[in-house]
Amino acid sequence: MIKKLLAIIILIMTLSIAGAGCTSLPPLIKTSHVNAYANAFVNSTRDNSGLTLISSNIVQNGSDAVQVSMTLQNTTPTLIWSNGSIYTYTLNIKQFDNTNDASNFFNSTCFGYSPHAPVNSAIYEQVMGHTPTINRYSTQTASLSLFGASINIASQQDEFVIYGTGMVGPT
């Protein structure tokens, strides 16, 4: 009786181990590059804007999105602001699973915005290793006065979409 019970236990264990190799593998998970893209964006803005980066902050928002806050200063006097100006950006950067989803989101976000020349593709190239096939940028003036201006921003580089606001005012 013990031999039969032992044989059944061994058979069950053998079938369990053999069957373990037949299970399906979990779906392939795409690596998110949103943090690298956000860091490259902040560094590129600092290095190429001609403005002084006063502060920046990147906050994770799930596995495929971040919020970027930046404050930059222009110390050159202007006709309106004798002490220069401060630029403040609050932007969301989201990496979509594919360019179609990113394009749909971009199109719904920037409806009514004015298109502009594409943004620098070097950020995308640095992170992804190739130039983006889709590279577009649009803005909409939200407010404008002697005390400052505010714009809504939307940009797409393939699966990445940047959207948010930018403000400029006196120092």
Bridge partners for 136 per DSSP = 156
Q: pLDDT per position in the chain (171 positions), as tens?
A: 444 433 444 434 443 444 444 444 344 445 689 999 999 999 999 999 999 999 999 999 999 999 999 999 999 998 888 999 999 999 999 999 999 999 999 999 988 899 999 888 999 999 999 999 999 999 999 999 988 999 999 999 999 999 999 999 998
Bridge partners for 53 per DSSP = 72
Looking at residue 30, what is its pLDDT? Answer: 54
Most distant CA pair in the chain: distance in Å? 100
What's the Rg (C-alpha) of the chain?
A: 25
Question: Rounded to 10 degrees, what is the CA torsion of 13, 15, 17, 23?
Answer: -140
Bridge partners for 92 per DSSP = 67, 163
CB 93 within 8 A of CB 68: yes
Residue 4 φ/ψ region, left for φ over 0, alpha for ψ in the -120 to 50 degree band, beta for the rest = alpha
Map out the domains of the chain as residue ranges. 34-170
Amino acid occupying residue 134: I
Write out pLDDT tens, residues 98-122. Answer: 999 999 999 999 888 999 998 889 9
Q: Is the pTM of this model over 0.85?
A: no
CA 65, 69, 74, 75 dihedral sign is negative
